[in-house]
Amino acid sequence: MPIYEYRCESCKRKYSVLNRSFSEIKDPICTHCGSAEGTRLISQVTFVKSWDDFMNGLPSWESMTDFDENDPRSVAQALRRMKDATGEEIGPEGEEMLAAMDAGEMLGGPESMDDGGNWEF
């Protein structure tokens, strides 16, 4: 069942259209404003790796000879390596954190967070 993503030309929002089969592709109707003027987007693709492949792709401790856990710039560089190795996005908050570390600011532990370090899930 293909799911296609579109950007509405009227309201500029992104929306998805689920089709039951490849032979019956629906006309895209914006789910936000009802416009039939949509431009098809290239959807993000996810590639699932095994746990072993994931772990083997991370930098080894031996390759991190320049890592200094007491230097925020060094920690930021190590986090970027891991981010690049995993291909994961860290969002605006993560990017802000890395920018602060690049500026030499050492971040506190969980107790310094707004929620008081309460990491319950």
Both 24 and 56 in one domain: the answer is no
pLDDT of residue 86: 73
Both 55 and 92 in one domain: the answer is yes
pLDDT of residue 9: 93
What is the C-alpha to C-alpha distance for residues 22 and 100, in angstroms, rounded to an integer? 48
Q: Are 37 and 6 in contact (CB under 8 A)?
A: no
Both 36 and 57 in one domain: the answer is no
Look at residues 10, 4, 48 and name the one whose alpha carbon lies nearest to residue 22: 4
Number of domains in the chain: 2
Both 8 and 34 in one domain: the answer is yes
Q: Are 104 and 72 in contact (CB under 8 A)?
A: yes
Is 15 a domain residue?
yes
- Chain-centre distance of CA 36, in angstroms? 30
DSSP state of 14: E
Q: Which two tokens stand for residue 21?
A: 């089969």
pLDDT range class, residue 83, cuts 50, 70, 90: confident
In which order are the strands placed within the sheet that holds 38-41? 14-18, 3-8, 38-41
Q: Is the pLDDT of residue 85 over 70?
A: yes
What is the C-alpha to C-alpha distance for residues 39 and 104, in angstroms, rounded to an integer? 44
pLDDT tens digits, one per residue of 16-73: 888 777 777 778 889 999 999 999 998 777 777 788 877 777 767 677 677 788 888 9
Percentage with pLDDT > 70 across the chain? 82
Q: In which residue are the tokens 């390759």 written? A: 63
Q: Is the pLDDT of residue 111 over 60?
A: no
